[in-house]
């Protein structure tokens, strides 16, 4: 079996590796380090949790051991999709470069520009950055990338996602054409791989496992869930999550709970805390200091449940995560592989559980097609002999109950008037119609010929108006049966005039 001592690494790097307790490289490390030391471009594809970070950190340190960086001109560049992953890469450099006199700078959002500018002005050998903050420094005139000799794109599929392509192309255009380029990722879709061909020159492809596969040490299962009512879906789904956690018992020492939306991350974390679970959220809208503090607490074991968006799905190395709960089915099938890869790392056993609602079944089918494996179904622990709708409704967790208001409530003064309104006769409509008939009939008395309506009396009209809508047979009287005389008079006058 290959050992690190056989990979032609710098002796000081080997000493740091020995201090860290490692002796045998992982397959991706054994495959990527030799061509990287030869100066070739590398495209590395391996399962998450297999040590891809060390696969490019170790050869970079060995090649940068000689030489010195100039002010504002870094010698190497590492691009990462998230702040947390960039910070983790920086920790790896600190671990393996402690016997080398190399400097580094971490350029991520949420940190003061002034502190980062001071590091760049001194000159750094290794620059670790997210694309947005890197371009911010460049546009401010604080950074020159013409001396970059080694460039690494970590989590390449996400970095080359549609939102990052313009930034990546611009950054590559600012670096020398003769640079050495290393791409590492757990997944590499065919359309993304075609894009990498424009950035890599005759790369050495190292694929130690089939793309988009999860570790065999991870037990996977999915619960098919349908809410009793649409407006109670969120409440019942959170109750199901707590039931799944309780069912695992002591085996669930800690867990990462993934949600698709940042708002759901906050809601789930708040709900768990309300029910006595030690949980905290982490997503892109939080301050960097809070994100760092939350992640450090989870790594140290002070926090049991980490509710996260996909910001924590890529590359974060927390070795002893026992469980991963997918509160939502990920929209992109590749994200499922990265999510569950947070558990079962470095040969440990892990368990990944997912909740699937009816509208997410298409995404579930896409995941199973990607991993070429059917995820075992788990019975819903909330189902019982009685249907959910027969149970007494619960008050939603995140909204206080509001008192129900009766629609038949009446004011005290209205109750006294109601009997009078119901029993008293209503002669007002008849009187009104009498006045209308009188006003219309007075000017109509002057013409000589009045036709067949001349025999009608005002009393007859009054009688009809009082009995409008009523007849001896209780039939509804229409407009044809009851025609006021003044309307007929107006037509008579036009015809005879």
Query: What are the tens digits of pLDDT across the range 224-283?
Result: 999 999 999 999 999 999 999 999 999 999 999 999 999 999 999 999 999 999 999 998
Q: How big is the CA angle at 356 (ends 351 and 359), to the nearest 5 degrees? A: 155
Handedness of CA 207, 209, 215, 217 (dihedral sign): negative
Q: What is the per-residue pLDDT for 324?
A: 95
| Exposed/middle/buried for residue 98 (C-beta within 10 Å: 0-12, 13-18, 19+) | middle
Average pLDDT estimate for 424-441: 44
- How buried is 299 (Cβ within 10 angstroms: 0-12 exposed, 13-18 middle, 19+ buried)? middle
- Is pLDDT at 418 greater than 80 in this prediction? no
- pLDDT of amino acid 489: 62
**Within a 10 A sphere around the Cβ of 102, how many other Cβ atoms?**
21
pLDDT confidence tier of residue 333, bands split at 50, 70 and 90:
confident
* 443-468 average pLDDT score: 47
Residue 178 pLDDT greater than 50, yes or no: yes
pLDDT at 445: 45
Which among 110, 111, 93 is positioned nearest to 102, based on CA atoms?
93
Q: What is the mean pLDDT of residues 440-456?
A: 45
Encode pLDDT of 94-107 as tens digits. Answer: 999 999 999 999 99
Instruction: Name the superfamily (CATH) of residues 4-207.
Output: P-loop containing nucleotide triphosphate hydrolases (3.40.50.300)
Asked if residue 180 has pLDDT above 90, the reply is yes
Give the C-alpha distances (Å, rounded to integers) separating 291 from 49, 113, 389: 22, 18, 40
User: pLDDT at residue 375 above 70?
Assistant: yes
- Mean pLDDT, the chain, integer: 79
What local confidence, expressed as pLDDT, does residue 279 receive? 96
Q: What average pLDDT does the segment 344-370 reach? A: 91
pLDDT tens, position by position, 286-328: 887 888 889 889 988 999 999 998 876 665 667 789 999 999 9
Give the residue extent of every domain in the chain. 4-207, 218-390, 431-441+448-497
**What's the number of CA atoms in the CB half-sphere (13 Å) around residue 100?**
29
**Fold (CATH) for 218-390:** Rossmann fold (3.40.50)
Do 4-207 and 218-390 share a fold?
A: yes
442, pLDDT greater than 80: no
pLDDT band for 429, please (50, 70, 90 cuts).
Answer: very low
What pLDDT score does 465 carry?
46
- Write out pLDDT tens, residues 465-496: 454 544 445 555 555 566 666 666 655 455 54
Answer yes or no: is pLDDT of 135 > 60.
yes
């Amino acid at each position: 079996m290959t050992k690190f001592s056989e990979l032609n690494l710098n002796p000081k790097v080997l000493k740091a590796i020995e201090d860290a307790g490692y002796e045998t490289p992982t397959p991706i490390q054994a495959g990527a380090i030799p061509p990287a030391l030869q100066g070739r471009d590398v495209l590395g594809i391996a399962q998450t949790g297999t040590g891809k970070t060390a696969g490019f950190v170790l050869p970079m340190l060995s090649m940068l051991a000689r030489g010195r960086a100039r002010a504002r001109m870094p010698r190497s560049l590492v691009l990462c999709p998230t702040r947390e992953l960039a910070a983790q890469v920086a920790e790896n450099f600190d671990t393996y470069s402690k016997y080398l006199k190399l400097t580094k700078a971490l350029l991520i959002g949420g940190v003061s520009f002034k502190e980062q500018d001071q590091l760049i002005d001194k000159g750094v050998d290794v620059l670790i950055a997210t694309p947005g903050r890197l371009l911010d420094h460049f546009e401010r005139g604080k950074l020159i990338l013409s001396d970059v000799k080694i460039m690494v794109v970590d989590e390449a599929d996400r970095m080359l996602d549609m939102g990052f392509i313009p930034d990546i192309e611009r950054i590559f255009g600012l670096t020398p054409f003769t640079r050495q380029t290393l791409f590492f990722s757990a997944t590499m879709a065919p359309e993304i791989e075609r894009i990498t061909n424009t950035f890599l020159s005759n790369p050495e492809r190292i694929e130690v496992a089939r793309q988009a596969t999860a570790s065999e040490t991870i037990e996977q299962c999915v619960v098919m869930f349908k809410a009793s009512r649409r407006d109670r879906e969120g409440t019942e789904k959170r109750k199901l999550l707590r039931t799944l956690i309780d069912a695992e018992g002591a085996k669930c020492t800690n867990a990462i709970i993934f949600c698709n939306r940042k708002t759901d991350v906050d809601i789930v974390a708040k709900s768990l805390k309300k029910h006595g679970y030690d949980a905290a959220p982490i997503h892109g809208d939080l301050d960097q200091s809070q994100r760092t503090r939350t992640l450090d607490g989870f790594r140290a074991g002070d926090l049991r449940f980490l509710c996260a968006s996909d910001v924590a799905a890529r590359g974060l190395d927390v070795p002893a995560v026992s469980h991963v709960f997918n509160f939502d089915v990920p929209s992109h099938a590749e994200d499922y592989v990265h999510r569950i890869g947070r558990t079962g790392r470095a040969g440990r056993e892990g368990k990944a559980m997912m909740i699937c609602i009816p509208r997410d079944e298409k995404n579930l089918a896409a995941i199973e097609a990607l991993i070429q494996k059917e995820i075992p179904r788990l019975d819903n622990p909330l189902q019982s002999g009685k249907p959910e709708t027969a149970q007494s409704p619960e008050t939603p967790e995140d909204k206080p109950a509001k008192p129900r208001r009766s629609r038949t409530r009446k004011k005290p003064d209205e109750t006294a008037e109601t009997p009078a309104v119901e029993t008293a006769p209503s002669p007002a409509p008849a009187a009104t119609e009498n006045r209308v008939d009188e006003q219309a009939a007075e000017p109509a008395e002057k013409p000589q010929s009045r036709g067949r309506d001349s025999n009608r009396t005002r009393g007859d009209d009054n009688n009809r108006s009082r009995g409008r809508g009523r007849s001896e047979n209780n039939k509804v009287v229409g407009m044809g049966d009851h025609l006021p005389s003044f309307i007929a008079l107006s037509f008579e006058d036009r015809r005879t005039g």
